[in-house]
Amino acid sequence: MPIYNDIIMEHFKNPRNLGSISDADGIGEAGNPVCGDLMKMYIKVDRKGNKEYISDIKFETLGCGAAIAVSSMTTEMAKGKTLDEVMKITRDDVADTLDGLPPEKMHCSNLASDALHKAIEDYHSKANKD
């Protein structure tokens, strides 16, 4: 069983931005059939001048403690940032912000950033239809 640091345990025990957004502007999902983790990210997008930013973000995750902690931290990293800034968030950024993940859990950080990026792609696809 992997050993988790205090930051990971805090986000696992007290996840931030847990839940869904019924009128989300974008929804992204990512999963890993091997480990069974499934993450869903919901975003609300607002505009300030010519910049679009994430005004609200929520997640639903079925998975291990690392998957929940990574989802929580990813939402914290994205909230209030522009979509361009958020698209640059990588799995390594998430793991570094959590002060490291056990090597066998690094795939969790990839799932969270993938779900977040897919939520933004979903938002763009909906916005382009209007």
Active-site annotation holder among 89, 101, 108, 120: 108
Catalytic residue among 7, 21, 35, 87: 35
Is 64 considered catalytic here?
A: no
Collapsing DSSP to helix, strand or coil, 130 comes out as coil
* Annotation says 108 is catalytic: yes
Q: Which residues form the catalytic set?
A: 35, 108
